[in-house]
Amino acid sequence: MSLGIILVVEDDDAIRRGLTDALSYSGYTVYDAPDGAVGLDLALSMDTDLILLDIMMPKMDGLEVLRELRKSKPAQPVIFLTARGEEHDRIGGLKLGADDYIVKPFSIDELLARVEAVLRRSPGRPTTLDALVVAGRTIDFERREVVLASGSRRTFTEREHEVLVFLSANAGRAVSRDELLQKVWGLDPRGTHTRTVDMTIARLRETLDDNPSNPEVIRTVRGKGYMLVEPESDESKSVSDGKDSS
């Protein structure tokens, strides 16, 4: 079974072949494009889990490709590949919504590790847990419910469940409001002023019986966002893929 579908957009033939071979050997289904224009057409027409996108390319550079791609697929995971390490390129790509940025030359091991990390954060991929225990609460992803310490059960709404899945996949890491907007709601956070994330977190805490003034499950990290505390791993029940927090 394929680990996911990856599109490689790179104008250097040798690098493109090397990436395609390495990813295919690692278990991914890989498609490739030799320039930005072809890459954008494929990215818009295909359902891909991740795009590896070079910045310096003929016809359309990577920044332009991502800018156009975000209009139709705001939540598409993208990792930039570039031989240039200048700060303005890195900042420009991240502002457009790139999920990661790798400067050439890089090792295949580093690339694969970053690919795996980005795919784990994608909300379209299933959670790696059937259930987890956090601060005395048992969260059941299959039933979409929580069993509180008192023994009472509460059901999550669909959006609460989606947010909880994403936070659990990144347990122990502060997730920004912009990342939640992009990855869970599928919205472009640029220029978006909304308290949707905060209100959803407030409702989720209420469902979890998590005191907002002293939360035990979902903590607010000042200046960064929200973080699900590390689960009690000895009681968490993993499925075949196992638990691998970012």
The tens place of each residue's pLDDT in the chain, 246 residues long, gives 467 889 999 999 999 999 999 999 998 989 999 999 999 999 998 878 899 999 888 889 999 999 999 888 877 899 998 876 655 666 777 777 788 888 888 888 989 998 988 887 765 544 446 788 999 999 998 889 999 999 999 999 988 988 998 888 788 888 888 888 877 877 766 666 678 899 999 999 999 999 999 999 999 999 889 999 987 754 444 433 333 433
Among residues 52, 87, 121, which one ends one of the domains? 121
Q: Cα(116)–Cα(129) distance, rounded to whole angstroms?
A: 17
Q: Are residues 100 and 156 in the same domain?
A: no
Give the DSSP letter string of 66-82: HHHHHHH-TT--EEEEE
| The pLDDT value given to residue 235 | 45
Q: Domain range for residue 111?
A: 5-121
Longest pairwise C-alpha distance within the chain: 62
Q: Are residues 94 and 140 in the same domain?
A: no
For the chain, what's the residue count? 246
Strand 5-9 relative to strand 50-54, pairing = parallel
Q: Cα(31)–Cα(38) distance, rounded to whole angstroms?
A: 11
- Residue 229 and residue 219 in contact, taking contact as beta carbons nearer than 8 Å: yes
| The pLDDT value given to residue 233 | 52
Tell me if 243 is assigned to some domain.
no
| The pLDDT value given to residue 201 | 96
pTM: 0.52
- In terms of Cβ atoms closer than 10 Å to its own Cβ (0-12, 13-18, 19+), residue 78 is buried
Q: Cα(204)–Cα(199) distance, rounded to whole angstroms?
A: 9
Tell me if 154 is assigned to some domain.
yes
| The pLDDT value given to residue 84 | 64
Tell me if 222 is assigned to some domain.
yes
Q: Are residues 203 and 109 in the same domain?
A: no
User: CA geometry: angle at 31 spanning 42 and 126, to 5°?
Assistant: 90
3-state secondary structure at position 227: strand
